[in-house]
């Protein structure tokens, strides 16, 4: 059954943040992400569309009692955000995270102007792996529910609490929590025997890093050591975040195991 004109228009609009926020909905693409959503957030799935002539996929949404329709390849191309459309789509409600879920209890990450949705998604996936949460973002960061962010996060956007907040408001909420900025200059993580918990790690914009006002009001600056012959100017934001997340996880695990 083809999509109606209104359905097609609505689903196409969800490629844009303002329409996602207005409708409080987003479109999830691909069997892996749809299956993950049906496993971890079945209550948010509203409808599923499967492209005609594709292999049977009923096992993906066995936990979700939602309407399932077939759409044409042409409709899939129109509503997809990617050059090669997926074979299955799910209309989702945007998750809401409560104040307890967004509280900084261990390691939280603050993104200061990270604009590449692939980086934001990979950082969400990394946080999910190490159990760190929440992800806090400045207003100029890429949207957590951008299709490219969702794909890079491999579904972690559904389970890692996230929220937009200004740096000023964040510091006002957590005046006693240690905030460390990641940069190419600062104290090497090789010298860090332990980390204060709770803690906020700040990751800056891909091009110009952390804003000077943010850096000036942070409690410290951390850097990842590099080989003395390295010609690389910096690390990718998501790669640097992954290394820092692992180092913090490893050293806090070590401290916990000694208690």
Q: Residue 63's pLDDT is what?
A: 77
Structural domain includes residue 219: yes
Burial of 126 (0-12, 13-18, 19+ CB in 10 A): buried
Domain end, chosen from 93, 119, 144, is at: 93
Residue 232 and residue 129 share a domain: yes
Domain count, the chain: 2
Q: Which sign, positive or negative, has the C-alpha torsion 44, 49, 54, 59?
A: positive
Q: How far apart are CA 108 and CA 162, in angstroms?
A: 10
Instruction: Please give the C-alpha separations between residue 240 and each of 58, 184, 228, in angstroms, as whole numbers.
Output: 39, 10, 18
Q: Does residue 138 share a domain with residue 86?
A: no
Residue at 100 is within a domain: no
102 found inside a domain? no
Q: Which of 30, 59, 93 marks a domain boundary?
A: 93
Q: What is the per-residue pLDDT for 203? A: 98
Mean pLDDT of each 10-residue bin along the chain, 259 residues long? 91 97 97 94 95 83 87 96 95 96 97 98 98 97 98 96 97 96 95 96 94 95 95 94 97 66
Residues 116 and 227 occupy one common structural domain: yes
Q: Is residue 82 part of a domain?
A: yes
Q: What confidence tens digit (pLDDT) does each residue in 163-187 have?
A: 999 999 999 999 999 999 999 999 9
In the listed set 93, 122, 155, which residue is the last one of a domain according to the structure?
93
In a domain, 10, yes or no: yes
My answer on whether 115 and 224 are in the same domain is: yes
Same domain, 85 and 144: no
- 146 domain residue, yes or no: yes
Question: Can you give the pLDDT at residue 256?
Answer: 55
- Domain containing 65 equals 5-93
Judge if 175 and 52 occupy the same domain: no
Residue 17 domain-assigned? yes
| Residue 55: per-residue pLDDT | 79
Please indicate, yes or no, if residue 154 is contained in any of the structural domains.
yes
Query: Can you give the CATH number for the domain in which 86 is found?
Result: 3.30.1330.30
Tell me 184's DSSP state.
E
| Residue 62 burial by Cβ neighbours in a 10 Å radius (0-12, 13-18, 19+) | exposed
Pair 117, 244 in one domain: yes
What pTM did the predictor assign?
Answer: 0.94
- 161 and 229 belong to one structural domain: yes
Q: In the chain, where do the E strands start and end? A: 25-29, 45-51, 68-71, 88-93, 107-112, 135-137, 162-164, 178-188, 199-204, 220-223
| Residue 150: CATH number of its domain | 3.40.1280.10
Q: Are residues 74 and 156 in the same domain?
A: no
Looking at the fold, whether 9 and 69 belong to one and the same domain comes out as: yes
Q: Which two tokens stand for residue 80?
A: 């997809």
What pLDDT, on the 0 to 100 scale, is given for residue 64? 84
Provide the pLDDT for residue 255. Answer: 54
Residue 130 shares a structural domain with residue 252: yes
In this structure, the answer to whether residues 195 and 228 fall within a common structural domain is yes
């Amino acid at each position: 059954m083809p999509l109606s004109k209104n359905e097609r228009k609505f689903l196409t609009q969800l490629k844009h943040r303002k329409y996602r926020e207005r409708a409080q909905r987003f479109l999830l693409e691909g069997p892996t992400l749809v299956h993950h959503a049906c496993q971890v957030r079945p209550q948010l799935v509203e409808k599923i569309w499967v492209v005609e002539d594709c292999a049977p996929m009923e096992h993906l949404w066995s936990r979700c009692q939602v309407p399932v329709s077939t759409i044409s390849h042409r409709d899939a191309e129109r509503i997809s955000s990617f050059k090669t459309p997926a074979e299955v789509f799910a209309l989702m409600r945007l998750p809401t995270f409560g104040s307890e879920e967004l509280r900084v209890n261990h390691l939280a990450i603050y993104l200061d102007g990270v604009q590449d949705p692939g980086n934001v998604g990979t950082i969400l996936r990394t946080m999910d792996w190490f159990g760190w949460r929440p992800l806090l973002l400045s207003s100029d960061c890429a949207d957590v529910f951008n299709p490219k962010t969702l794909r890079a996060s491999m579904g972690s956007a559904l389970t890692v609490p996230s929220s937009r907040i200004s740096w000023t408001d964040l510091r006002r909420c957590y005046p006693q929590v240690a905030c460390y900025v990641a940069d190419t200059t600062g104290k090497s993580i090789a010298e860090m025997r332990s980390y204060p918990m709770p803690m906020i790690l700040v990751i800056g914009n891909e091009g110009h890093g952390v804003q000077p006002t943010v850096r000036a009001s942070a409690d410290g600056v951390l850097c990842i050591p590099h080989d003395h012959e390295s010609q690389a100017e910096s690390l990718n934001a998501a790669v640097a975040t992954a290394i820092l997340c692992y180092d913090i996880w490893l050293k806090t695990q070590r401290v916990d195991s000694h208690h």
